[in-house]
Chains A and B, each alone.
Chain A
Amino acid sequence: MINYIFGIFIVLGVVYSFISGNINAVNDSLITSGDTAISMIIKMIPLLCLWLGIMKIAEESGLIKKISSLLSKFIHLLFPELKKNSNSISYIATSIAMNMLGLGNAATPFSLKAMKSMQEDNSNKAVASRSMITFLVINTASVTIIPTTIISIRSLNNSGNPTEIIPACIITTFLSCFLALVFDRIFYYVWRKN
């Protein structure tokens, strides 16, 4: 699937820009997207190093197992396939908590760690497991309580009340996340039948 998206995006972009006479912009973007990718990874490396370092300590001291067993019941409602006391539970929980607090960048290392941990329990390493999909659905639905970036752009644009969107944002984000989880369940059962 990702294979098709990659191919289609490039073919569509190049062919369309050729027809519409926009090929210069695409040429520029081909040359400069490397810069964007490099600066993205450069910004991510310190976060990955810091959080994976801290998480290693938490793992060795038994803290991860402790958090997992505390949240096990609750997380099981959403992820019925996860084993009890699995490290995945802690990583999933911390990733969601970080996202909720609007620390999106800090959440990435935990999310990647959660994926890695779920992959260890995955029976077929090439196929996405049910838990992975549920986790990604929660991630893409982005349950944010404090949308920091948006608030700061609003105040840069002289909003009379930059934070007035917070309650509406919370209502929307929880409603849409709930519906996303419903879709996830429906698709899981429909997919399994076929």
Chain B
Amino acid sequence: MQAIIIPFIVLFVILYGFFKKVDLYEFFLNGVREGLFMALKIFPTIFAMTVCINIVIKSNIINDIVNFISPFFNYLKFPSELVTLSIMRPISGNSSLIIMDNLFKTYGPDSFIGRAASIIQGSSDTTLYIIGLYFSTVGIKKIKYSLIVGLLADLTAVVISIMVVRWWFY
């Protein structure tokens, strides 16, 4: 199904352009040029984000904090195995995928933890990266309440994930 979508969109746009007698090749080249400039423009942001995010992840500070506060989550009946994943999810897509994979290996993908990890991973995105990338690409300095709302939404997604898994599968 997904293999059809992209070629279909390309075909549709080209046919529409043909029909409207647009100089297809010329404008395609213009767009490609714009794409190259855009890549050049977003690279510094991607570089800066990778550096600062990697340092935090490699320093192990997140793991150590989670270990320190995990009794609190046990008290809340929130599986502490999922805390690291939930904290990492908005920060780094790759790291959270690795954490999810490790949870699958330890508990199995069809266990409660495995299912909850899948849903947490699927229902939220790398908020920090998206906000950093999109805003600096267009030169926005004041991001107002966007990060607060984004992180609040991630927290909500985690809570809802656990509730939905409990209700849907058990």
Residues of A within 8 A of B (CB): 1-2, 5-6, 9-10, 12-14, 16-17, 20, 22, 25-26, 28-30, 32-34, 36-37, 40-41, 44-45, 48-63, 101-103, 106, 109, 111-112, 115-116, 118-119, 125-128, 132-133, 136-137, 139-142, 144, 146-150, 153-154, 157-162, 164-165, 167-169, 171-173, 175-177, 179-180, 183-184, 187-188, 191
Contacts and interface: CB of A to CB of B under 8 A. Distances in A.
B109 A5 contact: no
Given A149-B97, A179-B156, A54 B9 contact: yes
B36 to A, nearest CB: 6
Contacts of A141: 123-125, 153, 157
B76 interface: no
27 contacts: A6-B52, A13-B52, A20-B60, A20-B64, A25-B58, A33-B51, A33-B55, A45-B39, A50-B35, A56-B30, A58-B16, A133-B143, A133-B144, A137-B150, A140-B126, A147-B121, A153-B101, A153-B109, A157-B101, A157-B104, A161-B110, A164-B110, A169-B118, A172-B157, A176-B157, A179-B153, A180-B153
Given A25-B59, A52-B35, A142-B124, A168 B153 contact: no
Contacts of A172: 119, 122-123, 157, 160-161, 164
B145 A133 contact: yes
Which applies to chain B's interface (DSSP): helix, strand, loop or mixed? Answer: helix
B118 to A, nearest CB: 5
B60 A22 contact: yes
A169 B119 contact: yes
> Which residue of B34, B105, B134, B150 has the most chain A CB atoms within 10 A of its CB atom?
B134
Contacts of A169: 118-119, 122-123
A140 B169 CA distance: 26
A64 B19 CA distance: 15
Contacts, number: 325
The 9 closest A-B pairs by CB, nearest first: A56-B31, A13-B55, A180-B153, A53-B31, A48-B35, A147-B122, A142-B125, A49-B35, A159-B109
B66 interface: no
- Interface residue tally on B, bucketed by range: 35 or more
A154 B109 CA distance: 6
Contacts of A109: 35, 38
A171 B168 contact: yes
A153 to B, nearest CB: 6
B141 to A, nearest CB: 5
Interface of B: 2, 5-6, 9-10, 13-14, 16-17, 19-20, 22-24, 27-32, 34-36, 38-39, 42-43, 46-48, 50-61, 64, 90, 97, 100-101, 104-105, 108-110, 114-115, 118-119, 121-128, 130-132, 134-150, 152-154, 156-157, 160-161, 164-165, 168-169
A157 B109 contact: yes
A162 B141 contact: no
A42 to B, nearest CB: 9
Contact of B121 (A150, A167, A179): A150
